[in-house]
Structure 1
Amino acid sequence: MRFVLASASPARLSVLRSAGIEPLVQVSGVDEDAVTASLTDPAPHELVTALAQAKAEAVAAELAEPDAVVVGCDSMLLKADGEIVGKPGTPEVAAKRWAQNAGTSAELLTGHAIIRVRDGEITDRTAGHLGTAVRFGTPTQAEIDAYVATGEPLHVAGGFTLEGFGGWFIEGVDGDPSSVLGISLPLTRKLLADLGLTITDLWNRPTS
């Protein structure tokens, strides 16, 4: 049985590899804006979960592997004022968000969806979400400008990373740190258990 990651995220791939999983990576190509527009006033956790489900469904529908679990993920930052934000996309937006987030805390919401494929057919589905509190430091304007100039925050949820350049400016995480990296190992394990699967059965085995 193959573990299929429906994401192009290098951070998610790195987390899984470090945790004993060598996934098959297959990017969904889902139009996230279209999925969001199709929802009627979703709660923040409903939005990230729906996006994760859409990604998993898209990959499962095109999967060549006859026996697999497809894992879709999505993350967004829920700010203290109730605004939910995804990837900044531009340097201007990234710089503005960092100026707003400096010295504050926000909740990174992570949605996961898992689809079980047997004999080329979808047989089971499950999904869930969790939140992790992130405490932002107070970088100087020069530090914010330098960070934005790396290009790193433009294409990641909330405009920051924990494992990259952004880690210098994150003062703490309350909750599951792997979820801040893009894929929650505890939540993934629980969702797999919902489908009757044990994560240890999917770990890489040394070859003799």
Structure 2
Amino acid sequence: MSLLIENLKKSYRQPDGTPVPVLDIERFEMRGGEQAVLLGSSGCGKTTLLNVIAGIRSPDSGQVLIDNVDVSRLSEPARDRFRAERIGFVFQTFNLLPAFTALENVLLGMSFSGGKSDRSRATELLSRVGLSHRLGNKPAQLSVGERQRVAVARALANSPSLMLADEPTANVDSANQQNVLELIRSACGEQNVTLLLVTHAPAVAEQFDRVEKLVDFNKAAAPLGAAV
């Protein structure tokens, strides 16, 4: 899946109505199957950019082309369907549903696309991430590292062609950080999935052939420490 961003702008408004620019990107491009990392400290717009690419938030102007489909111009229901069918998203905070087991969380990820939940595939994905013995456990019964692995399995559930990963190692202990990173990269590589991962950690970024500093091409990069 190719990704092309052009003339993208996004601002938020303060309580008094004053606009605060968060994204101002002239151009960013990725080829199908490429793996890239965006490196930046808090406040440079990393999470906002991923949310705009995924169609979770709409830009003020510009376009986000995913295989020549301008996601920003789709209706909200169409964006939700496009994301469910073609984009995997690994959230920093996992976003697992606490009342459901690991297996059920992956099955729910499949159902979001409107397709049939495939129990055997969900079981296979959890087995691939080393959780075949945790299928019936709910998130509260899993370690932080195990929860992140469930989140990775869920992101792969619908065989996406684009994977977005938001600081996927930030909430994982140091012993599991490398395992999670290798899992995401190898899974994407096996299925030729385009991977865009954002991080503030140089040690993570240096493992990628393509490293981009978001502040270098986001002219609206916020001051260090700003929450975006």
TM-score (norm: length of structure 1): 0.28
More helix by share: 1
- Structure with the bigger RCO (C-alpha within 8 Å, sep 6+) is 2
